[in-house]
Structure 1
Amino acid sequence: MDALVLLGSFFVLMIIGMPVAYALGLSALVGALWIDLPLDAVMIQLASGVNKFSLLAIPFFVLAGAIMAEGGMARRLVAFAGVLVGFIRGGLSLVNILASTFFGAISGSSVADTASIGSVLIPEMVKKGYPKPFATAVTCSGSVQAILIPPSHNAVIYSLAAGGSVSIAALFMAGVVPGLLLGLTLAALCLVIAKRENYPKGEVIPLKQALKICVDALWGLMTMVIILGGILSGVFTANESASIAVLWAFGVTMFVYRDYKWRDLPKLVHRTVKTVTVVMILIGFAACFGYLMTLMQIPAQVTAFFTSLSDNKYVILGLINIMLLVLGCLMDMSPLILILTPILLPVVKLLGVDPVHFGMIMMVNLGIGLITPPVGTVLYVGAAVSKLKIGVVTRAMSPFFVALFIVLMMVTYLPALSLWLPRAMGL
């Protein structure tokens, strides 16, 4: 009955249209009153939920990504990707995916990826003869890489939701191979579609111009080296790498590229603060909600339920995938990570699944949810950039959903894809 009151109040509040963060907080209060828990205990959990040093990485990575997104980095990454693959048939679709790989490794955000890369490449692809729905579908599906490739904001949130027991550095490294695998799978699909539909080839860029483009993009690409190289070498932590990435992004944008006006900088910082505030409110209320779930033994009940269905971990992982795919269509990614990680992590640990591996499973599942109606945030951003209806974009996404599902199955049932690199790095 306790679980019914907590979860029932949460879903009722969601159904009537209350924002997820406030629904979590109010349902936690309802649950606390139901079991006669002092409200002081809930407030303590709220404060301790956001009073974590590891959370400092989130605002810094968000700010670095915002500076790069609005400071001309997306355009330069697109040009650099064009040098590498733009001359192939269907090359602009490959440029789109490769640019998303580069930009995802800087911003860590699928929404920022879609907005930045899409605003540059969707009009260009349409101009060169690609259907607009196809261009939008490529942009949206390619941006899912940002969920996996470091520095993924959601990997930090997963580490927090796991109680800090999972290393952020290990999660960052675990996402490299699945992220690149996703990009290669989407690229292969684009090549097949381009050959079938006879999409145009791009032009080979002259050597002198190509060198200029590469040098111009190198400043931004150094952000990836700073983030990954610093963490792997042990020179600085994930938090420190995020703050250094902000300084580097600021220096490159304002003093090297000089595309961004100083007078617009306060507005950018204000938007970043608003974004981070929403995330922190969500994390604080989710901590209260998770505390109530623990007191009501909901994770133990869910573990018992899954283990009663089967003792085969592959079957249970398949069932968890189905559940995550369905829920990913109905809720945004961050709250689902915060709610479901404390519930599902005990289940997979009992089955012998590595928590880092499970983090990648969750990221791919919920990343697919970001481009799936009715709540797919990235899908809506892509449709807004291209000025297409959601239904039109969704239909164009059909073959890309198949590719993403194949990657999901590989990440789920081939744990070495996620665990090889962090183990090789001793993480």
Structure 2
Amino acid sequence: MGALTAAAILFGAFFLLLFAGVPISVSLGVAAMVTALMFLPAGDATYVVGQQMNVGIESFPLLAVPLFIFAGTIMNTGGIARRLVDLALVAVGRVPGALAHTNVVANTLFGSLSGSAVASAAAIGSTLHDRQKEAGYDPAFGAAVNIASAPSGLLIPPTTAAIVYSTVAGGVSVSALFMAGYVPGILMGIVIMAIAYVFTRRQGYPKLGRVGAAEAVRVFLRALPGLLLIVVVVGGIVFGVFTATEGAGIAVLYTLVLSLVYRSMSWSAFKDVVTRTVVATGIVMFLIAASAGMSWVMAYTGIPGAITDTLLSMADSKVVVLLLMLVVLLAVGTFMDITPAILIFTPILLPISEELGMDPVHFGMVLILAMCIGTMTPPVGSVLFVGTGVSGVSIEQVVPRLLPYFAGLVLLLLAVTFIPELSLGLPEMMGLLEE
């Protein structure tokens, strides 16, 4: 039985289960087991797949994932969102359509701190919704800006997406990935602001009143403790003071102390935070375990190599192959969240990108950016559903408003793909890329 046949069985079973409504993690595990049974005796297949699932989560770097989830959940209830919105208002309040640009800046800041696009869309969207409504903003327009900008924080460190990719890709430097995310993440925010500016000028949405110097300083000082989290955690990881896992532990301690200083978390709220963290961690870790079993089956049957050879044989041009990869990633993003997409498609597409001469750090940024775009697209875009929910508008109303942002972000994805310096410039300047 050949590798392409194995691929047909594996992905056929996976997508069949997925479209039947089976959870992604269960679909991954069952598809891996079904395929393994085609190549190995039942006892051996059960033992090896189960062993690989255990090995997949037996990783020190992966301890950073639940810790960053914990820190992000604390921030969602710790009063940080309001302070970041106030800071963003001061920064872009004099631009026409100030509340829309505030939404973008606040999402970028809060998303990078919380590590969750969904949490950012919910926290920032709900905070600004009433103000935008009072200022006469079209609710569908406000929702579209919120949805399009919420994933930008997934590129800017500290981000669990980079940690998961680092683990799956075979120990790619987390420090390099963190630095590589800054320029694409900031450019993502700029692209969304530029498109929003065109619409806000056309609709005549107002600027905000001028903020005095004393008030601006007060707002900045109120937001500064939250912003320092990025400096402490990312700086410590990049400069080798501590590992990503240790940095995640420091993030938890820092956010706990901050919430106590702000007096924004009661004991019952803290218990709720712990419960939500445990549930989210269980989901993510089971997903990683199931994907590890699937990755082993793919490696054992030679699926990645067969797909690489097939795709490279379809076109002689590097540009054409890269464009085919982007089409696949954008299509995957429409029905799959960022973590399972990274876990499933990194072992398949990373070898292809390396054959084409792409640095693994560069490919990681392309992959994460493509999946960020996917979170805002139907039919399964998680940020799309959360953003419409907090804004009280339907998906049918928002999707047409999202199309210009989608087009702009696809152009950005092409730029990041074909201009490696956009993602590799900073880590190379800091000597973080492996020779």
Within the candidate set 12, 16, 19, 1:15 is matched to 19
How far does residue 225 in structure 1 lie from its aligned partner after superposition? Answer: 0.8
CA distance in 1, matches of 2:235, 2:8: 47
- Number of residue pairs aligned between Structure 1 and Structure 2: 425
Output aligned runs, 1:141-290, within 5 Å: 141-164=148-171, 166-254=172-260, 256-290=261-295
Confirm or deny: 8 A CA contact 2:36 2:297 kept in the other structure.
Answer: yes
SS in 2 for 1:172: helix
* Cα displacement (A) at 1:111: 0.8
Question: Higher mean Cα deviation, 70-79 or 199-208?
Answer: 199-208
Q: What percentage of residue pairs aligned between the two structures are identical? A: 44
For residue 133 of structure 1, the aligned residue among 123, 140, 145 is 140
**Counterpart-to-counterpart distance in 1, 2:365 and 2:129:** 29
For structure 1, the residue ranges without an aligned partner over 5 or more in a row are none
Classify the secondary structure of the residue corresponding to 2:379.
coil
Q: Which residue number in structure 2 is paired with residue 390 of structure 1?
A: 395
Alignment partner, residue 86 of structure 2: 79
TM-score (norm 1): 0.97
Indicate if the aligned counterparts of 1:129 and 1:200 stay in contact, CA closer than 8 A.
no
Q: Which runs of 4+ in 1 moved over 6 A?
A: none
1:315 corresponds in structure 2 to 320
Q: What is the DSSP-based 3-state SS (H/G/I as helix, E as strand, rest coil) of the residue aligned with 1:143?
A: helix
| 1:353-374, Cα deviation, whole Å (9 max, x unpaired) | 1111111111111111100000
Letter in structure 2 aligned against 1:79: D
Q: Secondary structure at the match of 1:280?
A: helix
Name the stretch that deviates more: 239-248 or 305-314. 305-314
Deviation digits for residues 177-224 of structure 1, max 9, x if unmatched?
100111111111222211111111111122222222111111111111
Q: Which residue of 2 aligns with 1:412?
A: 417
- Please say if residues 112 and 155 of structure 2, whose CA atoms lie closer than 8 Å, have aligned partners that are also in contact: no
Task: Report what 2:28 is aligned to.
Answer: 24
**1:393-425 CA distance string (max 9 Å, x none):** 111111111211121111111100000111111
Question: What is the one-letter code of the residue matched to 2:293?
Answer: C
Match of 2:109 among 96, 102, 110: 102
The amino acid that maps onto 2:354 is K
Instruction: Tell me the equivalent position of 1:44.
Output: 51
Secondary structure of 1:17's counterpart equals coil
Partner of 1:118: 125
1-side partners of 2:128 and 2:364: how far apart? 31
Q: Does the CA contact (< 8 Å) of 2:76 and 2:119 recur in 1?
A: yes
Q: Distance in 1 between matches of 2:68 and 2:341?
A: 21
2:232 partner SS: helix
Which residue number corresponds to residue 352 of structure 2?
347
One-letter identity of the residue aligned with 1:330: F
Return the letter of the residue paired with 1:118.
Answer: G
Q: TM-score, normalised by structure 2?
A: 0.96
Q: Which moved more, 1:47-56 or 1:401-410?
A: 401-410
The residue type paired with residue 296 of structure 1 is: T
Structure 2 Cα separation of the partners of residues 253 and 80 of structure 1: 18
User: Secondary structure of 1:149's match?
Assistant: coil
Distance across 2 between alignment mates of 1:228 and 1:244: 11
- Stretch of structure 1 that moved more, 270-279 or 389-398: 389-398
CA drift at 1:249: 0.6
